[in-house]
Amino acid sequence: MRNKLSTSNARQLALKILLKIDRKNSYTDVALNRALNQSNLSSSDRSLCTELVYGIIRHQRTLDSLIDQLGKKKAQQQPPNLRRILHIGLYQLRYLDHIPPSAAVNTSVDLAKDNKLQRLSGVVNGILRQYIRSIQGNHDPLILPNDTLKKLAIQYSFPDWIIETWLQKWGEETTEKMCHWFNQSPNIDIRVNPLKTNLETLQTQLTSAGVNVTPLGRFPCALRLKGKIGTIPTLPGFSQGHWTVQDTSAQLVSYFLDPQPGETIIDACAAPGGKTTHIAELMGDQGTIFACDRTPSRLKKVQENAQRLELNCIETVVGDSRYLQQFINKGDRVLVDVPCSGLGTLHRHPDIRWRQTPENIRELTSLQLEILNQAAQWVKPQGTLVYSTCTLNPPENQEIIQTFLSTHSHWKIEPPNPHWAFSPFVTSSQWIQMLPHKQDSDGFFMVKLKKG
| Active-site amino acid positions | 390
319 is in an annotated binding site: no
Strand order of the sheet with strand 222-226?
212-215, 222-226, 188-192, 243-245
Smallest distance from ligand SAM to CB 303, Å:
13
Least distance to ligand SAM, CB of residue 422, Å: 18
Question: Is-contact 305 272, C-beta < 8 A?
Answer: yes
Residue 386, Ramachandran bin (φ over 0: left; ψ between -120 and 50: alpha; else beta)? beta
Q: How far is the CB of 291 from ligand SAM (least distance, A)?
A: 9
Shortest separation between residue 120's beta carbon and ligand SAM, angstroms: 44
Binding site annotation covers 337?
Answer: yes
Asked whether residue 274 is marked as a ligand-binding residue, the answer is yes
Residues near ligand SAM (CB under 6 A): 269-275, 292-295, 298, 320-322, 337, 339, 371
The answer to whether the annotation marks 140 as part of a ligand binding site is no
Is 270 annotated in some ligand binding site?
Answer: yes
Q: Is 113 annotated as contributing to ligand binding? A: no
CB of 271 to ligand SAM, least distance (A): 4
Question: What number of residues does the chain have?
Answer: 452
Would you say 41 or 292 has its CB closer to ligand SAM? 292
Q: What is the closest distance, in whole angstroms, from the C-beta atom of residue 448 to ligand SAM in the complex? A: 16
Question: Per the annotation, does 114 bind a ligand?
Answer: no
Residues forming the annotated binding site?
269-275, 293, 320, 337
Residues forming the annotated binding site for S-adenosyl-L-methionine?
269-275, 293, 320, 337
